[in-house]
């Protein structure tokens, strides 16, 4: 699947897949103990790679980049006739994976966010899926990990017995984490961002109609204006302009990035 479904959107090789294809990929990788970097990318996540060549390199070496945002799905449909009926929304994918993991006895691990969010997340997931095995949870340190801490964290996750790891560090930190830990963990690592606080009930979720028409960003901006205004005011118009140029054939976007000169792991 790694290459057959990949399509160039502003220089980022997105995967034109649906929920079922994503689920099958994750559980196949988990069963084979195959290190895999996976991210659900909305406009902000995609644009971080378009703007930054090192991040472009990382993203274009991911095993699976899912169209989390409706505008990303629309771009895939317009540019490549991908015929995607729905996006692959990180929080919804997380729920689907946890549901299947509970059914199949596949242990999962959660890394990132705060102890408060993780506690509420665990409570909500166990209420919904009593059979789910949560092998471990660990909050973010909200700083760069040291050269000693990185292998120690990898060892804790491996030794927990987990077969799938969810990472919620925010973009682009969680994508950097997945890229740098993929080989060390030897399991699928999913960067799902806002899924942690949303599923924990700590952050309000946009109404379905806003999600369907691509206005979830407006809801989130209204809820967290001080944190998100720069992201949406600058990046959303830039995305629309650049995608329009790509659709019209007026600009071509290369997929060549720049190999990161050093690890910049944030944990």
C-alpha to C-alpha distance for 219 and 201, rounded to whole angstroms = 16
The CATH number fitting domain 6-200, selected from 3.30.70, 3.40.50, 3.30.360, 3.30.410:
3.40.50
Burial (CB count within 10 angstroms: exposed 0-12, middle 13-18, buried 19+), residue 173: buried
Nearest one of 38, 13, 85 to 195, comparing CA atoms: 38
Give me the count of residues in the chain. Answer: 267
* pLDDT given for residue 215 in this prediction: 81
Question: Six-digit token pair at 17?
Answer: 């897949």
Per-residue pLDDT at 142: 86
What pLDDT does residue 1 have?
42
**Contact status, residue 143 vs residue 169, Cβ threshold 8 Å:** no
pLDDT at res. 4:
62
pLDDT tens series, the chain, 267 aa? 444 689 999 999 999 999 999 999 999 999 999 999 999 999 999 999 999 999 999 999 999 999 999 999 999 999 999 999 999 999 999 999 999 999 999 999 999 999 999 999 999 999 999 999 999 999 999 888 888 999 999 999 999 999 999 999 999 999 999 999 999 999 999 999 889 999 999 987 878 888 888 788 777 778 778 777 777 788 899 999 999 999 999 999 999 999 998 766 666
**Exposed / middle / buried, residue 96 (Cβ in 10 Å: 0-12, 13-18, 19+):** middle
Phi/psi for 206 (5° steps) reads -65, 145
């Amino acid at each position: 699947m790694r290459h057959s479904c990949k399509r160039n959107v502003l220089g980022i090789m997105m995967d034109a897949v649906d929920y079922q294809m994503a689920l099958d990929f994750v559980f196949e990788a988990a069963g084979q103990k195959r290190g895999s970097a996976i991210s659900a990318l909305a406009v902000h996540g995609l644009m971080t790679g378009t703007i930054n060549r090192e991040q472009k390199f990382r993203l274009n070496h991911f095993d699976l980049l899912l169209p989390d945002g409706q505008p990303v799905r629309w771009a895939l449909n317009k540019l490549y006739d991908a015929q995607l009926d729905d996006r692959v929304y990180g929080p919804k994918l997380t729920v689907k994976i946890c549901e299947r993991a509970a059914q199949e006895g596949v242990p999962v691990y959660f890394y990132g966010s705060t102890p408060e969010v993780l506690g509420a997340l665990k409570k909500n997931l166990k209420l919904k899926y009593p059979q789910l095995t949560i092998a471990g949870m660990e909050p973010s340190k909200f700083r760069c990990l040291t050269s000693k801490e990185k292998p120690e964290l990898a060892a804790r996750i491996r030794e927990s017995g987990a077969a799938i790891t969810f990472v919620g560090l925010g973009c682009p930190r969680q994508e950097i984490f997945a890229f740098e830990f993929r080989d060390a963990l030897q399991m699928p690592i999913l960067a799902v961002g806002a899924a942690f606080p949303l599923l924990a009930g700590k952050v309000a979720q946009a109404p379905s109609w806003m999600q369907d028409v691509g206005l979830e960003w407006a809801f989130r901006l209204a809820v967290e204006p001080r944190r998100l205004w720069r992201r949406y005011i600058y990046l959303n118009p830039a995305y629309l302009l650049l995608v329009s140029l790509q659709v019209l054939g007026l600009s071509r976007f290369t997929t060549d990035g720049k190999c990161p000169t050093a690890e910049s792991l944030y944990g």
